[in-house]
Every structure is written in structure tokens, then in C-alpha cells.
Structure 1
Amino acid sequence: MIVNKSMFPLTTGFSVISKMQDQFAQLQMQLGTGVKAQTLSEMARDLPVSLSVRSRLTTISGYNASIEQVDLRLSFYDNALTRLDQIEGQARNSAVQGQYGSNNINMATISSLSKARLDEMVTLLNSDVAGRYLFGGSVTDKAPLPTTTELLDGAGGRAGYKTVVTERQMADLGASGQGRLTTTLATLTATDPATVNLTEDGDHPFGYKLSTVSAVGANIGIVSDFATTPADIEFTFPAPPATVEEGDSVTLGFTLPDGTETQVTLKAVSAANANGSTNEFVIGSDAIETATNFETTLKNTLKETAESELRAASTYAAAQNFFNAAGEPVLRVSGADPYTSTSLRVATKTDTVMWYGGQTAAVSAVGMGRLTSARAAETVTLTENIPVSSAHGFQISGVTSSVTNAGALTATHTPGDPASMSVAFDDTFALTAGDSVTVTLTEPNGTSRQVTLTAVTGKAGPGQFTIGADEAESATNFEKAMIRSVTEAAAAAEGNPRQSVTAAVEDSGRVAYGMQANESGYLRMMRSMAAMTVETYPEITNATDPNSVDLDPAKLRFDAMARRQQLELSEGRNAERGSIELITMELGIARAGIQAAGDRHTNYKAQLDNLLSDVETVSKEDVAMEILALQTRLTASYQVTSMVSQLSLVNYL
């Protein structure tokens, strides 16, 4: 500041000195603190920038806190999944067909070892981090699973898995122990052929289901009917002088309750060469005697196989019923007498322990949302699975069609339990490109989804089916397209378990890391561990001959159980959706995502910190120079003002 005539009048000079004193005080404060201002009002034109940068830094701090929390949970998931993978491998190696151990030690210990693994698995799935349970999807305030004891033994009058297994085995084996199959011997006289009928005892999901039959030798007549329900097979034994020859055999194929297949073979032997094996039948002196021996052998073989293959299949079928998957209800044998039951029923929370209590999808892409398709000639049907559950799977609400030539197809909706729809094609009226069928499916929450299939003349794309050369081909094409489209609708309704829990880690991105304990990888382990826990392998005396050369039935049962565990926990399932391996990979991607977001925040924060420093802080060296300059000007101003204030005519003269 230059002291000149502008200092006059005197009041103006005092005002300028006061402003310099204020500036001097401000510079001293800046020199001492390193910041430009002590209050927001002193920020002047830098205030908007300061507020904006500080707001952004606060947001980044929130994202970093979220990233830190998610990273902690992902670390827990990583440890848990690593241990679960180890348990899966140990279980897979603990029970191997034919490896019974010294003095059958493997058979004796497999149950207790499986229970220990099951208990550890339940503990892992019920673990929490800071009071937040991580394997129940968005349900984080309670453990997703009951205790191991409750799962196996039940609680409060509600049945556990052991009860469900017992009921299922009774229903599958039947009172006779023949797997719900009955035999009938029909004879006339010793000079006539004799027949043995093998028949399923009703239309139900239990026991053996006849699937195939074949014979070696042309001496046993076989007539089978697998298309009707119940299926049956008739065996005819020739009348003398024709006879069954030694070496002739019959092989029967069965579908078991868990969906697996098994076979038994009955061999014809002479009395001299019989060695007491369960599957041998002695050639008699006439058709009646041969047929009688065949029926006896058939019954004994059915009973022996029932104690191994069928019982193991029943145990695993009970595991599928009790440890329900997403979109499926818990099922139990219906009726007061399981031996004669003809259906399954939906279990309730009041009579059965529900194994999983976390978040879950009500509709699953597996099994088309509890719908089944079928085709008979030119008619395609879609039916709800029984037993029907209003809380699980799609309900068929209606079907409509739009056709150019009336009668080219007829779409019909049949309400009820179960509801169904059918589409019948008729070649009398030709299909036209653009003709369509729309099926309305309703989810348990009331949401409706429409699946529309449109006829085309060329290659069919999504939502289309190709018009065939005749009504049967059109029906076949329509069914394939319907299965594909309904499965896609079910997948959309099911959603992704990972999306059940998400966290914001940056403005334009969220990380999804939800976990549900009923995903397929965990589910297969739960079913297998529980099945191996409840099954035992007592020595069973051969029903026909205690000195039989047949393999010990207990070992046959162990082999059947071991084979199923190997199948359930096979490495070949690693690529399935929901497997532990795929979940681990998905969480690895999530972790990489939050780490990348964290790195971006770190770099951005450094830039914002520099900008904020430029706006809010000062260089002490520059301030010191300003203070020296101001001090010089202020001193000069004091002197001039003092001199001017003392001016008078006398002093002037």
C-alpha cells in the first residue's frame, strides 16, 4: 500500500490501517494453522468447491466401510466353503463299493462318521458374523437350519428325517417286502402251460416300477405291458414235452424310488446243479413245478434286492422328500398305514421339522416350476405336479389360442388339483405361420407370467415352434418349444441366490454375495450325509438258505448306499448351478469386484484430498512472505498517519 494523498482525510487512513490489521491477523492465523479459514463464511468463493469435495469424500468413506464389511463376510464364506469342500471329499472317499475294511469296520463306522460330518456342516451353515447369519439369504436374524438333533429326531411332536425315512421305507418295501410287486401263479393241469404274473400293486410312487424285461433262450414266453398303470409282466412256461432248458434266464429291470435303475436275473438250473443261490430256479418235472419254483425264486430275489438296492433308494428318496429344494415342498407318506399308501402329501410346519428356514425361491427352473409335460400322438399336455402345493411352483391359470383356421388346434384349460392344459392339433385345418398359444402361469405370490408360442414355417427361435409335416410332428415341435419356454419362465421367477444380499460399493455398482443353504451343492451334501447317518448294515440271513453263496445282503446294502453317495457328491457335478465350486468362483468374482472398487476409491480419494488441500490450506512460506510485506506497509502507514495527525499551521510553518 502506498501512503499518499489518498490517506486524507484522516478517517480514511484509519480505516485502511484497520483493514491491514485484520489482514495481518488472518495471515498470522493461517501461518499458525496452515488453513485458509476458520469458518465456512470465510471460505468465500472456495466454499462450494470445499463442500462438494468433502461430501464426495464422505461418500467414499461410506463405500470403503461397506467394502470392509463385505470383505469380512466374504473371508468367512471362503473359509466355510473350503471346509465344506473338504467334507465333501472326505465323505466321497469314506464309502466305496467293495471296501468294507478289516472285520467290516467301514460298515460299522460309516454312520457315526457321517453324523459327525452332518453336524459340522449344520454348524457351518448356521454360523454368524457379528450376529448376522450368512446362509439364509436376506433372512439374517435367525439361524437358517435347526440343530442336527432336531433334523434327525424331530422336536416338539414334529417328525424329523428318521421318521420320514421309516415311513418311506415301509411304503416302498410293502408289507410283503417285495417292493410293492405281487405275483400270481396260474395253472390248469400238469399237461398245460403255466403262467406267473408280476404286477405293480397300484398307481403310486412307491416301490419297484417295472421298466424292462428280456430273456435268454426261447423257452419262456414273456408278455409285458409297461404303458398301462399298473404295469405287469406275464411269464409262460411250456407244457410237456417242451420244457425250460438249463441256462435259460430272465432279466428284469426296475426303476427305483430315487430315480435310479437296477436289474435282477433269474437263471434256470437243474436240480443236480443247483447251488442254493437266491436267483436260481430249479427246472421241474412239468410246467406247474417249474412255474412254482420260478415264482418262489422271483419272490426271494425281490425281497433280497429290496433289502439292498430298494432300501437304499428309499432312504435317498426320503432325503429328497425331507430336504426339499427351492420351489419344492417337504413331502411325507400319506395315510395311516404306510405299507398300503398310494400317495405322498405336503408336510406342514406343525407335523414336520422344516430343514431350511431362510430365504428361498418359490419357483425353480429345475422341473419347469413343478410342471410336467407329456405328448400322446397329436395332443400335448402340461400338468401341475402332485401333490399340489399352493406355496411352491407354478399354477396353470389358463390357456388361449389365436389361429387363422379355426380347428387347426384346440387349447383347453382344466382347473383342479392338479390343474392342467392341453393343446390338440388337427390336420383337417392347416396351421398358419403366426398362429399362437398363450399359457398363463401364476406364481405362489400371485405374479402371473404368460408363455406365448408362435407357429413358424422355418427354423424356430425363442418363443416359436415349427409347423410340422403332420399334426404329430407339430405336436412334437410344440412340446419341445413349450418345455424350453416354461423352463425359461421358471428360471426368471427363481432368480439368483447371490442377488438376495447386495451392497453398494460405488455409485454405479453393487456387489451381490447372498447365500442360501438350500442351493444344490449344500443340498446334495445334506441329503447324502443324513442318508448315510440313519442307515445301518446288520447281518441279514438269506431268506432261502443260510448257507447261500450269495454276497452278504448287508454288504449289498452298503454298496448300494456307497454308490448313491458317490453319485450325489461326484466331481462331475461341480459344473452344476449351485455347486460349491461354482459358488466359490462367483464369490471370488465378487471379491475381485470390491477390491477393484476399493482401489478406485483410494486413487480418487487421493485426488480429492489434493484438491481439498489446494482449496482449504495455505503455503506457510507464501504466508510468511505476505506477512513481512504487510508488516512493512503497516509500519509505514502508522508513521504517516501519526505525522499527518500532528499537522498544524505552526508545525507546517
Structure 2
Amino acid sequence: MSINSVLVNPNMSLLSTMRQQLEDMQRQLSTGQKAATYGTLGTGRTQSITFRSKISEITGYLQNTDVLNMRISLLDKSMGRLEDIPSEAAAAIDPNTYNIDSTGTTTGQKGAKIALNEVIGLLNSEADGRYLMSGKTTDTKPVVSMNDMLYGTGNKYGLQKVVQERYTADLGTGKLGRLDLGTADGAVTGDTVTITRQGATTTPPSVSAEFGYKLSGASTSTLDATHIQLTPTTGTDSAGNSVTTSYGVQFGANLQAGDSVSFELENPDGTKSTVKLTATLTSPPGDGEFTIAQDTSTTPPTVDIAATAANFQNRLEDSLKTETKTTFQAASMMRASDTFFDTAGGGKPQRVDVADPTDDSLLATATGLRDGTDTDTVEWYVGYNAAIDASDSATSPRNDVTARVDSNITVGYGVRANESAYAQMVRSLAVMTIAEFDPKAGTTGDTNATTDAERQKNLQVEKARYSALASRVDGVLAFADGSQKPTDIHTEIAVSGNVAKSAADRQTNSKTTLQVMLDGVEGINKEELTAQILTLQTRMEASYTTSMILNNLSLLNYMK
């Protein structure tokens, strides 16, 4: 064996090892990582895998939060506007201001229509192709168009027709709010006027629990039965409730001017109206009065009881006719709109339960409501609408859409456009929009009047109905009855956003800490590594020089 073989081969092996070490150090310097694989990381491999897994998990949570924050930000803008609209619309719908144009549209209705259109647009808000207020069905636009909602489409009834059929049902056969007036004999022939709920005298009785007036109470200004005496009759309505079905008003010989009778009537929407008539000797009587008829054949004149009862009945009928065209009609419209829009939790729009809704005679004697079907009634909300159980938070609309923002925290931010606060807003604006008023009332073009007095009365009826409806709409928009408000939903969504933000702040801090720890396991100290590289390069240069000398060494040179 040659000398150089004995000396050079081990040195070359050492050089090869150092070259590999230098290459690995240079890789570390360029990548900032100690090892290229977990296998070469040594004892730190377990910590590296653990830290990386946790960082990856946190990154996923932060990505969820970013998407959630974007959607909540858009919801926040829409909900903020939905909070402002009710007060703005209420200001435009002034019950005391009746301004109507030639088309029969009032200023308040114009404002309501503009507001309704904006509300529908906001309830249909979307982000990245997802509808934000459609519950779980994020691919479905939750609210139908305003035109379909109000006026229907094809064979489907919209709000306008539902309101019309409801009013016909509420009026009843005599168009007095399902009340019948008549006379009966007491001590004197024809001395008693009866006010009776329709259906009370049929066999079997069929007093509707849903339609028309309810007789809430009655009173007289005197307890002397020789002046006026009230006699109530009770029965059962279609819902099985014990109710007052009629009152008998009996007039006596001592009736005098100033004596009065008051009826408290419950309107279809649950509000109360009072019809009061006061006796007077004046003929013709003024508003809210009836004339005491006198028998002048006696000295002094005495009360003609039967004629007085007839006067009372005529004036009561006039008062009820006026009420049914004003307050009662407004109440009927509000009740119809309530049953049309109250669909939260899987409900259907309600219709008068008759075989043929175009037959007024059937509507006038109907006793209850039915669910509208997919083929005959427009459903204004078509998003996710599963049942809601107040005792089970899992059924809350907030949990329709959720996002995991931490290992133990899931945030719900689902919204349904038919939640009570939004449904009431849409309902009130919609019913105001579809109301109809006569622009010719009070003018010479009024075809329902022949005298100035009649024209003025018709105008007052229109104004009174507008005022009654506008007052009710304003009441709904004020959300003063303790019902859910738009701010309630907004607050819940804002809380979800704050929970997600707090979780993201914690996750970001945790990620920073874990990254530092991971860098400590996988990372390098550049200054230290650079010094090691320089040292290794120096050693390699010395080894290369030695190897070169040994490679040129021979026995002859060695002996020299």
C-alpha cells in the first residue's frame, strides 16, 4: 500500500463529513430551520408536531372569525338601518294629517311604501352569495317582492285581497260588525231595543269568536229602571268561550234628557270602542244623541216609549255604520295583516275559512280562519322557518348559522326575516300601503253624496278611518307593547360579534406564543450558526491543504 493511500483516505472521509455538515448548516441558514424533516429534528420532534398542530387549529379558528366578522359587519349595517326606519316612517304617517292626491294615495301611504321597499331590500341582504336573514337556507332569498306580497301573483292572494275578505267577514250580513238590532216588548209594546251578536239566535248557536264586534260591556247613566234598564244575555262562542251575546235596552216612562246608554265594543284587533247615545228633547238630534219622542195628547206630555225606542235604534244603527267604516275597518285591516304576517316558527298566513272566498255571503257567515296553502296564498317569508321553542335555545334563530371560534366556543349569528320585530315592521308598512281612500270625498265629484252635508260627512269618515289606521300603524312601529324590537335582534348579533372578537384576540396571542416556542424548537441562532460555519470552513481549508500535501507525498520526497 502506498503512503499517500494510508494517510489521504481517512482525511478525505473527514472532508466529506465536514462538507455534508457545511451544506446542512448553509441550508439551516437559508431556511431558518434546524432540520429538513421531523426525523432529523431529534428529541424536539414531539414538541414541534404538537406546536404546529395547535397553531394550525388556531389558524382555522381565526379564519372562521374573519368570515364571521365580515358577515356580522354587513348585518350590523343592515340592522342599524332597520332600527332607524320605524321612527322615520312613523313621522311620515301622521294620524292628524290627511293629504290625498287624485289617485287616492295619502302622503303617509307614500312614505310607508318607500319605507317598505327599503325594509324588504335590507331583509334580503346578502354576502358572498349567502342571504344573511334566511336562517339555515342561506341560498334562499327570504322575502318575496313587494308587489307579490301586497297584490298576489297568479291565483295566490296577496295582503290586499286577504284584508278585503277579512273585512267582509267582520262586517257580517247586516254590515254592522256582526251585530243585529231589533225591538222587543217589555212592559210596553216595542219598548226594548236589542243589540245581538249574529249567530246567537240560530240553532245551534254559531257566534264567531274571530269575526265582528264582541260585546265587552254596557252601562247607563242612571240606575233607575223607570228611565233605562239594561239586560245582558250570555252564551257560548265558536271557541267555547262564555260571552255576552246580547243586550236589551228597555226604556221607561221616566226617561229624561241627559240619560245615556254606552256600549263598549271590542274591535277585531282587540282594541275597544265606545258608542254612547244621550237622550235629548231636540229634534233632529245632534251627534251622539237620540230624541225622546213625546205623546202630546196628554197634559203634561209624556214619553212615547215605543217611538223613543225606535229613535234610539235608528241612531244606534247610524253610529255603528260610521264606526264600521272608520275605527272598525282599521281594526279589521290590522287583524288581517297580523294573521297574514305572523308566520314565525312554521306558521302559515291565515285566511277566512270558506269554500269560495269570492262569495260574500259565505264570508259574512264564516266563523273561523284556516291556513293559506301554497297554491292560494302568498307566503311573504320563504326562508328557513322551523319551530321555535322558547325553552330550548337550540331552536333559536341565532343558532341557525354558527361558527366555531374556539375549542369550546361556538357563536350563533343566524337571523330570520320573519322574526317578530321585522314581521311587525313589514306588517304595519304593508297594511298602510294597501289602504284605499276616496279622493272625491268632500268634493262635488262624490258619487255617494247629494248634499254638502253628506259630502262633508263622507270626508270626515275618510279622515277618521285614515287617522284610526295611522294611529295603529304608528303604535306598532313604536314597539311599545313589550314585544321584540329590532334593537333586540341587533344586540344579540352584536354580542356574538364581541364574543368572536374576544376569542380572536386570545387566539392571536396564543398563536404568537406558540410560534415563539416552535421557533425555539425548530429555529436557529443565525449569529451562532454563522460562527460555526466560519469555523468549519477554516477547518475544511486546513484539511484540504493537508490532503493536498499528503496527496503529493512519495517515498523519494519523504526520504529527502
Question: 329, 346, 352: which one pairs with 2:348?
Answer: 329
Which range is displaced more, 336-345 or 313-322? 336-345
82-91 vs 356-365, which moves further: 356-365
Structure 2: gaps of 5 or more residues: 200-206, 238-242, 295-303, 357-361, 443-447
Equivalent residue letter for 1:194: D
Return the match for 1:260 from 250, 271, 274.
271
Q: Is the 1:542–1:548 contact (alpha carbons within 8 Å) kept by the matching residues of 2?
A: no
1:496 and 2:417 aligned: no
Contact 1:308 1:556 in 2 (8 A): yes
Deviations 1:626-649 (A, max 9, x none): 122223333444455667775869
Q: Which residue of 286, 306, 309 corresponds with 1:288?
A: 306
State the partner residue of 1:505: 405
Q: How does 1:19-418 map to 2 (within 5 A)?
A: 19-100=17-98, 108-187=106-185, 192=189, 194-202=191-199, 203-204=207-208, 205-217=210-222, 218=224, 219-226=227-234, 228-229=236-237, 231-238=245-252, 242-272=253-283, 274-277=284-287, 279-285=288-294, 286-327=304-345, 328-335=347-354, 336=356, 337-363=362-388
Structure 2 match to 1:461: none
Q: 5+ unaligned residues in a row in structure 1: which ranges?
A: 1-6, 366-490
Helix, strand or coil: the match of 2:454?
A: coil
TM-score (norm 2): 0.84
Query: TM-score, normalized by length of structure 1?
Result: 0.73
Q: How far apart are the structure 1 equivalents of 2:103 and 2:376?
A: 37
Change (3 A) 1:291 1:612: same
Q: Residue 633 of structure 1 corresponds to which residue in structure 2?
A: 539
Q: Equivalent residue for 1:618?
A: 524
Partner of 1:603 in structure 2?
Answer: 509
Contact kept, 8 Å, 1:243 with 1:287, in 2: the verdict is no
Q: What residue number does 1:437 align with?
A: none
Equivalent position amino acid for 1:594 in 2? A
The 2-side partners of 1:504 and 1:354 are apart by 33
Moved more, 166-175 or 543-552: 543-552
Q: What is the CA–CA distance in structure 1 between the aligned matches of 2:255 and 2:459, rounded to whole Å? A: 27
Q: Does 1:527 align with 2:440?
A: no
Contact kept, 8 Å, 2:93 with 2:112, in 1: the verdict is no
Shift of 1:547: 7.8
The answer (yes or no) to whether the contact 2:171–2:178 under 8 Å persists in 1 is: yes
Query: Across the two proteins, how many residue pairs are aligned to each other?
Result: 514
Match for residue 490 of structure 2 among 584, 590, 608: 584
C-alpha distance in structure 1 between counterparts of 2:109 and 2:193, whole Å: 40
Query: Matches of 2:194 and 2:172 in 1, distance apart?
Result: 18
Conserved in 1, the CA contact under 8 Å of 2:186 and 2:192?
no
Distance 1:103 1:152 in 2: 21
* 2:322 alignment partner AA: E
Deviations 1:81-129 (A, max 9, x none): 1211221111222233333369999972222221221111111111211
Question: What secondary structure, in the 3-state scheme, does the structure 2 residue paired with 1:504 have?
Answer: strand
C-alpha change, 1:551 and 1:151, in structure 2 (3 Å) is closer
CA offsets per residue over residues 239-269 of structure 1, 9 Å max, x none? xxx2321111111011111111111111111
- Structure 1 CA distance for aligned equivalents of residues 135 and 306 of structure 2: 65
**Aligned partners of 2:169 and 2:20: how far apart in 1?**
98
Match of residue 454 from structure 2 = 546
Asked if structure 2 preserves the Cα contact closer than 8 Å seen for 1:172 and 1:206, the reply is yes
Describe the shift of the 1:102–1:140 C-alpha distance in structure 2 as closer, same or farther (beyond 3 A): closer
Aligned partners of 2:527, 2:457: CA distance in 1, in Å?
Answer: 103
Contact 2:183–2:190, Cα closer than 8 Å, also in 1: no
Residue identity in the other structure for 2:383: G
- The alignment partner of 1:546 has SS state of helix
Report the 3-state secondary structure (helix = DSSP H, G, I; strand = E; otherwise coil) of the residue aligned with 2:248: strand
Amino acid at match of 1:129: A
1: CA distance between counterparts of 2:279 and 2:103?
37
Encode CA deviations 1:431-461: one digit per residue, 9 max, x unaligned: xxxxxxxxxxxxxxxxxxxxxxxxxxxxxxx
Q: Which protein has greater RCO, CA pairs closer than 8 Å, 6+ apart?
A: 2
CA distance in 1, matches of 2:397, 2:351: 27
CA gap 1:26/1:358 in 2 versus in 1, 3 angstroms: same
Deviations along 1:194-244, whole A, 9 cap, x unmatched?
Answer: 111111102211110101101112311101134544611111112xxx232
**Structure 1: how far apart are the matches of 2:113 and 2:334?**
15
Identity of aligned pairs, percent? 34
* Rg comparison, structure with higher value: 2
TM-fit CA distance, 1:612: 2.9
Judging changes above 3 Å, is the alpha-carbon distance between structure 1 residues 606 and 64 closer, same or farther for their aligned structure 2 residues? same
User: What value does the CA root-mean-square deviation take over the aligned residues?
Assistant: 3.0
Residue 106 to residue 169, structure 1, CA distance change in 2 (3 Å): closer
Higher mean displacement: 601-610 or 117-126:
601-610
**2:465 is equivalent to residue 565 of structure 1:** no
Deviations 1:287-340 (A, max 9, x none): 110111111111111111011111001101110121123243321012232122
Provide the rounded CA distance (Å) in 2 between the counterparts of 1:182 and 1:118.
39
**Cα distance change of structure 1 residues 245 and 548 upon mapping to structure 2, 3 Å threshold:** farther
SS at match of 2:26: helix
1:594 corresponds to which residue? 500
Amino acid at match of 2:292: I
Report if the CA contact (8 A) 2:179-2:213 is conserved.
yes
